[in-house]
Structure 1
Amino acid sequence: MRLDSRGFNLIELMVVVAVLSALFAIAIPNYYAMKARTFEAVTEVNMYDFQIAVIHFSVDHAGLYPTPAEDAQIKAGMKGGAYPENPFTDVQEPWVWGSPGAQAPGTIGSEPPAGGYTAGYRIWGMGRSGQLPLMLRTD
């Protein structure tokens, strides 16, 4: 073997591959965890947008909050007059009227407080592993 040869030998290439493999093994799980947190943040933004539409409805209707029968009026008050897009599925999905139960990630909804829907609201959202800790409410 010549001492003045240029290039890399097999050992050096194997070390580089091992280092890159270790970096990817650390980075890929962090990427997916960050992506899930981003989807949950978008779900919270959808909750706030829904809350704003509900408050606008209340202002226009003498302080009464909407019931499921007024769903179309709330939808008209949303951005673009459409249901929010679920960040986990990239599909516009209607919100759920009632308790969260076992809903899919990215779903948002409103359950009635003790006095019924017209007395206030409790807006909830679902994350990757269950209900998000954020709940927007009037009571």
Structure 2
Amino acid sequence: MRKDKGFTLIEIIIVIVVIAILFSVGIGSYYRALEKTRENVATQALKIIQISLEMYATENEGSYPLANGLNELREKIKKFLPGGNLPANPYNDQPYSDENNSYYRITYTYNPLENAYTLTVWDRYNIKRLILLSNRIVIKGGN
């Protein structure tokens, strides 16, 4: 009777394959969770900007800033932003700006005739809208 100590080559290969399968499932979940976290950070950034816009309007007789781009918007609502700057973009952890607005893009539009603004944040590839915030009152089914 032979009493070899150790593992056969087949047993080692099976263990390596099982570990590789577990790793691939885990790494996929990790990247999905990372992307979801970045989307949540971008959504929170939009809410911070919305609060700053409302504070601006409170001090400016209910009017919102007319701005072409994030740099101009930042300058107009600077005193209402935490730290005086727009929140950080979750892609590169730099404050949002016109130059830093390609991933998790934020757009701001203002219609002075209606005194209404719309803030939108897009996903990493600028395909899917994550959230849209607006002060516009929408009446459904009315004249």
Measured in 2, the distance between the counterparts of 1:71 and 1:28 equals 37
User: 1:73 maps to what in 2?
Assistant: 76
Query: Is 1:88 matched with 2:91?
Result: yes
Shift, 1:76, TM fit? 2.5
Tell me the percent identity: 26
Please provide the CA RMSD for this pair.
Answer: 2.3
Q: Would the alpha carbon gap of residues 107 and 76 (structure 1) be closer, same or farther in structure 2, given more than 3 Å must change?
A: farther
Shift, 1:63, TM fit? 0.9
Measured in 2, the distance between the counterparts of 1:12 and 1:78 equals 60
Shift, 1:34, TM fit? 1.7
Measured in 1, the distance between the counterparts of 2:64 and 2:112 equals 13
Q: Would the alpha carbon gap of residues 110 and 56 (structure 1) be closer, same or farther in structure 2, given more than 3 Å must change?
A: same
Measured in 2, the distance between the counterparts of 1:89 and 1:70 equals 20
Deviations along 1:19-41, one digit per CA (max 9) or x if unpaired, are: 01111222222221221111111
For normalisation by structure 1, the TM-score amounts to 0.80
Matched length: 130
User: 2:129 maps to what in 1?
Assistant: 132
Deviations along 1:58-102, one digit per CA (max 9) or x if unpaired, are: 111111111226641312211111122110122212269xxxxxx
Q: Would the alpha carbon gap of residues 19 and 33 (structure 1) be closer, same or farther in structure 2, given more than 3 Å must change?
A: same
**Counterpart selection for 1:112 from 102, 106, 110:** 110
CA contact (8 A) 1:104 1:126 kept: no
User: 1:99 maps to what in 2?
Assistant: none
Gaps of 5+ in 2: 137-143
Q: Would the alpha carbon gap of residues 29 and 17 (structure 1) be closer, same or farther in structure 2, given more than 3 Å must change?
A: same
Measured in 2, the distance between the counterparts of 1:120 and 1:107 equals 20
For normalisation by structure 2, the TM-score amounts to 0.78
One-letter identity of the residue aligned with 2:117: Y
CA contact (8 A) 2:65 2:110 kept: no
Shift, 1:14, TM fit? 1.2
SS in 2 for 1:54: helix
Q: Would the alpha carbon gap of residues 134 and 50 (structure 1) be closer, same or farther in structure 2, given more than 3 Å must change?
A: same
Gaps of 5+ in 1: 97-102
Measured in 2, the distance between the counterparts of 1:37 and 1:111 equals 26
Measured in 2, the distance between the counterparts of 1:94 and 1:83 equals 8
Runs of 4+ aligned structure 1 residues displaced above 6 Å come to none
